[in-house]
Amino acid sequence: MKKTLIIAQLFVCSTLFAQNLVSNPSFEVGETQPCPTIGNLSALNGWVNPTGNTPDWFFDCISGLIPVGLTNRYPHSGHAFIGLATLYSNNIQTSCDYMQEHLPTALKTKHHYYLEMYVVSAFSNSMNFGGCNGIGALLTTYAASAANTGRIIKRPQFFNRTIINDTSNWFKISGTFVADSAYQYLTLGNFLPKDSILTDTLYLPPSAQPGFVCYNFIDDISLIDLDSGKVSGITELGMKNEELKIAPNPTKDKLTVSGYQLSENTKVEVLDLLGRKQLANEQMSRLANEIQIDVSGLVSGIYFIKATDEKGFVRTGKFVKE
């Protein structure tokens, strides 16, 4: 009986969190390359260039510190990231880089999905560089493409509306959408018309150079089905989100957790959709059978609260940070 209980608890833990539908989300998987590798996109697994432009793949299998532009750059995680010119404009043309993956599993129509990525701006001393808005994700039922160095002008399911001009810190952008088709392809880039793209100059070379470039590094892409049982926390054991009461929900700063005996020995964690710990016990305040959590430091998104008592029983709840 005890052995069965342990197996059941492990089953619950394994089904609480979502499966990332992107097969190579951190751009870590690729053919063996010398270290560091800069720009050799053909060696990257899963991702392709759908246009005639020149996106880049950066990889360092030793330290993770990759020399790019005027500075060295650590990936958001692991040893790799990609680089896209999310806007290149001169007197002759406007173009952008794109990257595309054929998803292992098609999206389910009418399901809600959550998408996130981490982005940071970059520049070099060769041209006029700046930050821009509009970087996002396009989901399609076909392999979207553009001839030569053309742009893919489509309405993306998700894009960042503000200018990204931070060259030091990775910035998380995220959003949700409802799939209205069985999408099979994910394309990253800037899909806005030129007159809708906002820019901010970051670097001007000593001598005047033609053209203007927004260049972004991108890492850790997540695409998650919010309507999957693996996200809702509902399992065959009947352990439902409602066992933990969370209020207010959504919240901007603080929330209270209650719903069952929360003893001093109960381990409470705040986790993101992929099960990564964001907050733990020592960052929470306990009042009788309630726990107060300050989530003001979390970026906007969807999170789980996981409570594990001294007997190993797990209860969960889900909340939205605005």
- Indicate the DSSP class of residue 231: H
CA distance 118 to 179: 22
Spatial neighbors of 190 by CB under 8 A, at least 6 apart, are: 84, 86, 87, 96, 132, 134, 135, 136, 151, 159, 197, 214
Q: Quick count: other Cβ atoms within 10 Å of Cβ 250?
A: 12
Q: In this structure, are 41 and 185 located in the same domain?
A: yes
What does each of the 322 residues of the chain score in pLDDT, given as a tens digit?
Answer: 333 332 233 333 434 556 899 999 999 888 767 777 777 788 889 999 999 888 989 887 766 666 666 566 789 988 889 999 888 887 677 889 999 999 999 999 999 888 999 999 887 666 677 889 899 999 999 999 987 667 898 899 988 889 988 888 999 888 888 999 999 999 999 999 888 888 887 777 666 567 788 889 999 999 988 887 554 433 333 334 446 788 888 888 888 888 666 777 778 889 887 778 888 876 677 766 788 889 988 887 888 888 887 777 778 888 888 7
Q: What pLDDT, on the 0 to 100 scale, is given for residue 24?
A: 94
Kindly state whether residue 15 falls inside one of the protein's structural domains. no
- Indicate the DSSP class of residue 164: B
Domain count, the chain: 2
End of a domain among 225, 259, 286?
225
Q: In this structure, are 41 and 116 located in the same domain?
A: yes
Q: In this structure, are 48 and 194 located in the same domain?
A: yes
End of a domain among 159, 194, 225?
225
Q: In this structure, are 155 and 47 located in the same domain?
A: yes
Q: In this structure, are 173 and 218 located in the same domain?
A: yes
CA distance 259 to 265: 16
> How much is the pTM?
0.74
Report angle CA 155, 159, 165 to the nearest 5 degrees.
135
- Domain residue limits at 245: 236-321
Q: What pLDDT, on the 0 to 100 scale, is given for residue 84?
A: 92
- Encoded tokens for 143: 């392999």
Backbone φ and ψ for 75, nearest 5 degrees, come out as -60, 160
- Indicate the DSSP class of residue 178: E
Q: In this structure, are 97 and 204 located in the same domain?
A: yes
Q: Coil, helix or strand for 297?
A: coil
Q: Quick count: other Cβ atoms within 10 Å of Cβ 46?
A: 17
Q: In this structure, are 141 and 169 located in the same domain?
A: yes
Q: What pLDDT, on the 0 to 100 scale, is given for residue 170?
A: 92
**CATH code where residue 250 lies:** 2.60.40.10
Interior/surface letters 71-92, b for 16+ CB within 10 angstroms, e for the rest: eebbbbbbbbbbbbbbbbbeee
- Indicate the DSSP class of residue 29: -
Kindly state whether residue 5 falls inside one of the protein's structural domains. no
Backbone φ and ψ for 283, nearest 5 degrees, come out as -105, 15
Q: In this structure, are 98 and 142 located in the same domain?
A: yes
Q: What pLDDT, on the 0 to 100 scale, is given for residue 18?
A: 66
Kindly state whether residue 32 falls inside one of the protein's structural domains. no
Kindly state whether residue 27 falls inside one of the protein's structural domains. no
Q: In this structure, are 91 and 219 located in the same domain?
A: yes
Q: In this structure, are 171 and 293 located in the same domain?
A: no
Kindly state whether residue 10 falls inside one of the protein's structural domains. no
Backbone φ and ψ for 298, nearest 5 degrees, come out as -80, 145
Report angle CA 76, 81, 82 to the nearest 5 degrees.
140
**CATH code where residue 104 lies:** 2.60.120.260
Q: In this structure, are 57 and 179 located in the same domain?
A: yes
Q: What pLDDT, on the 0 to 100 scale, is given for residue 277?
A: 85
Kindly state whether residue 8 falls inside one of the protein's structural domains. no
Q: In this structure, are 158 and 51 located in the same domain?
A: yes
Q: What pLDDT, on the 0 to 100 scale, is given for residue 205?
A: 67
Kindly state whether residue 17 falls inside one of the protein's structural domains. no
Kindly state whether residue 13 falls inside one of the protein's structural domains. no
Least Cα distance to 136 among 215, 190, 73 occurs for 190
Q: What pLDDT, on the 0 to 100 scale, is given for residue 175?
A: 84
Q: What pLDDT, on the 0 to 100 scale, is given for residue 10?
A: 33
Q: What pLDDT, on the 0 to 100 scale, is given for residue 82?
A: 92
